[in-house]
């Protein structure tokens, strides 16, 4: 158990819908990262937050957005869902973003868009 | 932008034998970190080993070791005395030390099978 929690574990929804994925980082970790793992694109970095502020953006679609709240949990919002958005979404956390610290991964949320 | 290449989609090893997984990367930076992550069927991402680019000594964690060749931009993972529990997807990852972002850039993975 990495200490990073993600909810829900599984999510099945229809095209055009909107979903919210939630992540709670390890206690004391200020940085949260979101990654998408799909058959087509492999493991891709989406976005990083550090202590409530966006730190870096990767290949995140405009239909996707994220935020990190004062209690440091983070949410990834996916809207106007398409079949191609079906993937495993990982959240990871680390203590400090600019120094080496292991990124601890949560168990992931498997999203299926029908 | 950095890229990470894993040219072996699948590998197989017999129990108790040794296997080496290959990884190459492309970067213009001089300082960075490299990682190997394991993803078993549970899908959990587990850090196996890490290497700081400024360290010439190859990292070792129990049965896992790396062969880091900075000039060749190569970072292979050697698993000794393979066990059934080593069967998983293995991902090589790169992390830049420049700027404020610390994202991981992953390779496409190598699926390791361990046979009796």
- What is the pLDDT, as a whole number, of residue B101? 67
Among candidates A58, A100, A110 on the partner chain, residue whose Cβ is nearest the Cβ of B103: A58
Comparing alpha-carbon positions, the chain B residue that sits nearest to A38 is: B108
If pLDDT is split at 50, 70 and 90, which confidence band does B79 have? Answer: very high
Q: Whole-angstrom Cα distance, residue A22 to residue B28?
A: 36
Q: What is the pLDDT of residues A20-34, one digit of tens each?
A: 999 999 998 999 999
* Range 67-86 of A in CB contact (< 8 A) with B: none
By Cβ distance, the residue of B44, B46, B101 closest to A55 is: B101
Q: Mind listing the pLDDT tens digit for each residue in A31-88? A: 999 999 998 888 999 999 999 999 999 989 999 999 999 999 999 999 999 999 999 9
- Residue A64 makes CB contacts below 8 A (sequence gap 6+) with A46, A47, A76, A77, A78, A79
Q: Which residues of A touch B104 (CB under 8 A)?
A: 33, 35, 45, 103
Q: Tell me how far apart the terminal alpha carbons of chain B are, to the nearest angstrom.
A: 41
- Summarize the confidence of residues B47-75 as an average pLDDT: 94
Is A97 a residue whose pLDDT tops 60?
A: no
Token representation of residue A101: 């610290």
**Over 90: is that where the pLDDT of B80 sits?**
yes
Residue B20 is inside which H or E element, if any? strand B19-21
């Amino acid at each position: 158990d990495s200490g990073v929690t993600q909810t829900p574990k599984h999510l099945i929804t229809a095209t055009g819908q909107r979903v919210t994925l939630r992540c709670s980082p390890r206690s004391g970790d200020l940085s949260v990262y979101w990654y998408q793992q799909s058959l087509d694109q492999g493991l891709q970095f989406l976005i990083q937050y550090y202590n409530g502020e966006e730190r870096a953006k990767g290949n995140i679609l405009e239909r996707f957005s994220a935020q990190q709240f004062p209690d440091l949990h983070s949410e990834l919002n996916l809207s106007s869902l398409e079949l191609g958005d079906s993937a495993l979404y990982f959240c990871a956390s680390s203590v400090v973003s600019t120094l080496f610290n292991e990124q601890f991964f949560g168990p992931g949320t498997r999203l299926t868009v029908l | 932008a950095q890229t990470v290449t894993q040219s072996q989609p699948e590998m197989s090893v017999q129990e108790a034998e040794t296997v080496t997984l290959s990884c190459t990367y492309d970067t213009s930076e001089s300082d960075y970190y490299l990682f190997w992550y394991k993803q078993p069927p549970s899908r959990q991402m587990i850090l196996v080993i890490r290497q700081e680019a400024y360290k010439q000594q190859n990292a070792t964690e129990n049965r896992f070791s790396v062969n880091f060749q900075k000039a060749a931009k190569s970072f292979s993972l050697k698993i000794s005395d393979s066990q059934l529990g080593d069967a998983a997807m293995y991902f090589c990852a790169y992390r830049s030390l420049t700027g404020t972002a610390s994202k991981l850039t992953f390779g496409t993975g190598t699926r390791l099978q361990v046979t009796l």
